[in-house]
Homo-oligomer: A and B are copies of this chain.
Amino acid sequence: MNGAESLVRTLLAGGVDTVFANPGTSEMHFVAALDRFPALRCVPALDEGVVTGAADGYARMAGKPAATLLHCGPGLMNGLANLHNARRARTPVVNLVGDQATHHRPLDAPLTADTEALARTVSAWVRTSSAVHAVGADAAAAIAAARTAPGGIASLILPSDVCWNEGGVVGTPRAPAAPAPVADETVRAIAALIERGEPTLLLVGGEALDAHGLHTASRLEEIDNVRVMAPMSNRRVARGREAADIARVPYAVDAALKAMAGVKHLVLVEAAPPVTFFAYPGKPGTQLPPGTEVHVLAQPDEDGGGALRALAERLGAPLLQRVAPTAPPPARGAITPETLAQSLAALLPEQAVVVDEGVTVGRAMFSMLAAAAPHDWLQLCGGAIGEGIPMATGAALGAPGRRIVGLQADGSALYTLQGLWTQARMGLDVTTVIFANRRYAILQGELAAVGAQPGPATNAMFELQRPDLDWVKLAGGFGVEAERADTMAQFNDLFTRSMARKGPFLIEAVL
């Protein structure tokens, strides 16, 4: 058994059966092993940003990691941004990077780069397999590292000779550890804090944003001095009319400051203290009112949902009879962020998975879809735009039988539109809605926020025009059927039809 085969066998033994791949020469022995292991599903992608974003989306829905397969340092470079996003989402990823043979590396061949240094910028765990007999054990360690709560990127670098040499040994998978329970005294302390009656905000993130956690949080919110919010960006949130609604920390610094006003105590539940994406001249970098005391109920690697339940019991939080909201009818007329949100709330199918890279156009949709059919909501967590299409691609493979709906800003979509081909190739049930406002609208807002005054040359840098991008052609070029909507009537019709069909579809919604 060569090293590549020991790797494949270890992946399968550890429950990793999906690999997103853009391989090169140094990965050929892995690829050559595919025919002997039909249980391993290898998904081709046209570039590495698709590979890594898909691995993020897959794991969020499958609840277990996928592997990537990247080619040397430069292949890793291309995949880093979506690994950065996955790192911020705390998504488990087994990140496999082929590399030069150990004896070839000192020759500094053209593709040679500092692969370990690159991997360290996004990884919780990095190792280079140094010998064929170690590959299996290294792969088992990588799977365990990726699955260690709350989840992270485990990068395993594989010189080609350790894969082609004979002498591989299958690694022994370790059972993933469950998140640690929160200590009783911590729950008691937070309960005592809340009982003081001062304005307290529970910031709930991570796994605690599942339906159960949200329900418990909404019970706690019935206590007079308690409010509940989620971070701006989250790995996965249970949403729709059957789930308890939750507000998020607003993106814009002024809106966030307003939302946080009056808070005396911030209690973190699998969340980090909120900070703005960027600094702005003369504005604070954190949205917390000065003097806010920060407390921790559950660290990201702890069982926040369980801690919330213990807290609710201790405080005698009421059991709620929720009245499910009613979705509005589909919107008519012109396409705007609001009419799109209204129609999506009306037309989203049961158990859809929404992948939100809507940026400016999409920002209000989260709250407006609270009345939609039950669904999950996945977000870009690291701010590196260009993850939506890949994440939708991976989510489709991680959640078979569910329709994926990508809410997709046009500027962001252009980084990794290559993922459409993988959707076509794999026949994935993904509907991508391109919000075609034909500009980097967020940057126009950011420019104003930093106090700069644009003229024509500056404004030209924010255009996605002259020429317009034609998303019907772009999608068609990748083999994905697409149509343009200029009115809400057209959008409603296209969206409804796409929900009823198999395979990918793209709607260019022109705002």
Contacts and interface: CB of A to CB of B under 8 A. Distances in A.
A42 B461 contact: yes
Contacts of A457: 34-35, 38, 42
B21 A461 contact: yes
A281 interface: yes
A104 B472 CA distance: 41
Given A44-B460, A233-B110, A447-B28, A104 B415 contact: no
A449 to B, nearest CB: 8
Contacts of A477: 469-477
Interface stretch (A76-84, A210-218, A360-368): A76-84
A203 to B, nearest CB: 15
Interface in A27-48: 28-29, 31-32, 34-36, 38, 42, 44, 46-47
B279 A100 contact: yes
A73 B121 contact: yes
A34 B424 CA distance: 41
A495 to B, nearest CB: 21
Question: What's the interface size class on A, roughly?
Answer: 35 or more
Contact of A32 (B114, B272, B447): B447
Interface string A456-469: 11101101101111
A383 B117 contact: no
Interface in A268-294: 272, 275-279, 281, 285-286
Given A28-B447, A278-B25, A479 B467 contact: yes
A507 B479 CA distance: 19
Contacts of A103: 279, 285
Given A25-B446, A277-B110, A279-B160, A383 B74 contact: yes
A417 to B, nearest CB: 8
A13 interface: no
Contact of A474 (B35, B286, B411, B478): B478
Contacts of A44: 460-461, 463
Contacts of A452: 28-29, 31-32
A500 interface: no
Contact of A121 (B88, B114, B476): B114
Given A42-B457, A118-B121, A278 B77 contact: no
A264 interface: no
A383 to B, nearest CB: 4
Q: Which interface residue of A78, A381, A468, A479 has the most chain B CB atoms within 10 A?
A: A78
Contact of A277 (B25, B78, B88): B25
A28 B21 CA distance: 36
B471 A277 contact: no
A480 to B, nearest CB: 8
Interface string A338-366: 00000000000000000000000000000
Contacts of A88: 110
A342 to B, nearest CB: 29
A333 interface: no
Contact of A278 (B49, B104, B386, B467): B104
25 contacts: A23-B461, A25-B278, A25-B443, A32-B453, A34-B457, A34-B461, A35-B456, A42-B457, A73-B121, A77-B80, A77-B84, A77-B121, A101-B279, A104-B278, A107-B275, A107-B285, A107-B286, A108-B275, A111-B277, A111-B383, A114-B121, A160-B279, A160-B450, A470-B477, A471-B477
Given A44-B463, A74-B81, A469-B479, 8 more contacts: A46-B414, A46-B415, A78-B384, A84-B113, A104-B285, A164-B451, A417-B418, A471-B477
